[in-house]
Amino acid sequence: MGRMLKALSPRLMETGPVDLAAAPSDANFKRGRDAEGVEWLLLDMPGRSVNVVDGSMLEELDAILSELEKSPPKALVIRSVKPSGFIVGADIKMFRDLKSAGEVEEALRRAHAVVDRLEKLSCPTVAVIHGNCLGGGLELALACKRRLAVGKAKLGFPEVMLGLHPGLGGTYRATELIDPAEAMQMMLTGKTKSARAAKRLGLVDAAIEERHVAAAVSAVAKGEVKSAASSGLMDKALSTGPGRRFAADRMRSKVAEKARKEHYPAPYALIELWQEHGGDRKAMQAGEIRSFASLLVTDTAQNLIRVFFLREGLKGEGAGKSGIGHVHVVGAGTMGGEIAAWCARSGMTATLEDLALAPIGKAMKSASRMLEKSLRDPLAIRDARDRLIPDPKGYGAAKADLIIEAVPEKLELKRTIYATLQEKMRPGAILATNTSSIPLEDLRAGLKEPGRFVGIHFFNPVSRMQLVEVVRHDQLSEETLKTTLAFVTDIERLPAPVASSPGFLVNRVLTPYLLEAMLLLDEGVAKEVIDEAAEEFGMPMGPVELMDNIGLDVGLAVAEELRGRLSTPIPEAPAWLRQKVEKGELGRKTGNGLYAYGKDGKPQKKKPEGGAARAELADRLVLPILNTSVACLREGVVKDEETLDGAMIFGTGFAPFRGGPMHYARSRGVDEVVKRLSELAEKHGERFRPDDGWSQLRRETREAA
């Protein structure tokens, strides 16, 4: 039996000899008792790279608990065999199958009964947690009497990202176990805690290394491990109604700074649940079930669940490993420096070349700040710094697996650089451009091997923007495309395959949105009113402020690059915008643009007053996004609506709770969108003329009906 355990996972050999009970190949749990009488439940869901909470797993656990109630072991241990971690949460696919709140409530009651049964088991119970322990996985662990976090375990409640809150007992078990304010903060933000941080909070009872698991479990079985949770003054203050009301009001204010209740109701529902029922477990459990069920059937939750699958779809584009270990970046400007730093952060050797030393020095300083902020671990920061190598002479180009050019958007400059690079590159290396708008067909002229030339378009700032456009052209080899897509996922970014065309996808779709805001300013509409209309629709930032963040010079250059080159009309930018660029008023980076910026880097805004109807403004801003999206689909710039929606959400922040531009268009109604575009075209001009691609969508909609 020891050989069977070893075959399951070498990680678990430190648990000692376990006599595993025979289990069917499709079983979720492998079971066995060790010499001390400790029962081990090893979770290894078949056909999955991760463990999840689903109906089959809970049903199997329920049957095991029924058996253990009759013959209790000295202790029960639940742990995962998967290298990826403990349990990553509930199976989100289940959420798509439940259509009514009543149906959801019934399913939740059955799930709660199993978890409650685990909590009531008479013997000591311990969850041994490694890797990811999230959502329903953490809720299951909270039902155990003790929790041991191993190595670099991460614990959290990410449900808010799906428009939900914990629904398997997490709302009351977490607020009972640790400081309620800390527990609420975890649930409201979705942020994870490291093993050590979880130990400090009392969320786990010990943070240990794998080699100490067997001894720690033995100590739990003997009653030698006490709970790390402790009741403090804050716990007592928040156990009263007035204390909870005061804390809840502060929580609402903080949430309101980032999310509107009408757009994202889940955090507000969680706060209300805790304020009303905190301290009353029975009422809290019933309220949690009702609240979760009502949230799950909302459009917001269903659309955010859709966004989860859009993310998984983009990640799937880069399946497999790229094999890229050395990246050479040419151009140490803002983008080039961040690209090199991010590659070094991701474990690759990154050499950074520029004609001048000053930009490299500036980039190295910026990289150091980014690494400190994002990694935090001193050893990881040191190692990443060591992998980032200033290379003014460009020696790294001869050794690199991938060379990324990130110089200014000047065609002849890029071609000159390519001519030099292709003489240095080793056989099989890939040459990539970070161009944001120049078609690759123009750039590849003169290349000896255009099949190994690809676009890798990052967005600024690289450390925060998840999307990367991988730009193909008709001479690109499939091997290069596959390797490039995998490289993007290797550096923990989301690859969106797009065709080479002016502006590619994101910039092309975003430009009409930004220019319409400039035209509204030209008409005299207050910038604050324009931004508020977009934010009321659900954009994370209004287009005027976004233009300042991009840089007026960059936004204007992209617009002029696209004008006259597309099937969808791009209006001419107002003359005053060019004048601002000429005067050096470029936006946030210069401290003055469309807004003025204070020392804190924030725009100085006035409170919006009056102005045009917000819905009218929102249509003028958002419908050009939909129209251009349809044009991109019709022209084959992007392969399908899912890729387009995912790219626009993760590349621009397009209102996630609406599910993406195309999903929003279908939800609003294709005929309604076309009608509204036609009305705006009559009133404001040809730039609103409905694209021919709407006809195809209309046919598909009618056929589906």
- The 3-state DSSP class for residue 108 equals helix
Return the pLDDT at 392.
Answer: 95
Q: How far apart are CA 502 and CA 440, in angstroms?
A: 9
Backbone angles phi, psi at 203, to 5 degrees: -70, -35
- Going from N- to C-terminal start, the domains of the chain cover 2-297, 322-500, 507-636+669-704
Return the pLDDT at 23.
Answer: 63
The long-range contacts involving 601-604, CB below 8 angstroms and separated by at least 24 positions, are: 603/545, 603/548
Strand partners, 53: 90
Q: How far apart are CA 488 and CA 495, in angstroms?
A: 6
Return the pLDDT at 613.
Answer: 76
Return the pLDDT at 12.
Answer: 46
Return the CATH number of 322-500, one of 3.40.50.2300, 3.40.50.720, 2.60.40.10, 3.40.50.1970: 3.40.50.720
- The reply to whether omega before 72 is within 30° of 0 (cis) is no
Q: How far apart are CA 192 and CA 157, in angstroms?
A: 7
Return the pLDDT at 93.
Answer: 84
Q: How far apart are CA 638 and CA 651, in angstroms?
A: 14
Return the pLDDT at 611.
Answer: 56
Return the pLDDT at 437.
Answer: 80
Is the pTM of the predicted complex or chain greater than 0.85? yes
- Where does 2-297 sit in CATH, by number? 3.90.226.10
Tokens 């959420």 correspond to 95
**Residue partners of 332: CB distance under 8 A and separation at least 6:** 340, 352, 353, 354, 359, 360, 362, 363
Return the CATH number of 507-636+669-704, one of 2.40.30.10, 3.20.20.150, 3.40.50.300, 1.10.1040.50: 1.10.1040.50
- The 3-state DSSP class for residue 326 equals strand
What is the β-pairing status of strands 494-499 and 467-472?
A: parallel
Q: By C-alpha distance, which of 245, 88, 63 is closest to 153?
A: 88
Give the residue numbers annotated as catalytic, written as ranges.
457
Tokens 């001479």 correspond to 475
Return the pLDDT at 22.
Answer: 56
Backbone angles phi, psi at 579, to 5 degrees: -65, -40
Interior angle at CA 393, CA 391 and CA 397, nearest 5 = 70
CA atoms within 13 A on the CB side of 686: 6
**Residue partners of 349: CB distance under 8 A and separation at least 6:** 325, 326, 327, 387, 389, 396
Fill in the DSSP letter of residue 426.
P
Residue ranges, the chain, pLDDT below 50: 1-17, 233
Q: Spell out the alpha helix ranges (H) of 388-525.
A: 411-424, 440-443, 478-490, 506-522
From first CA to last CA, the distance across the chain in angstroms is 57
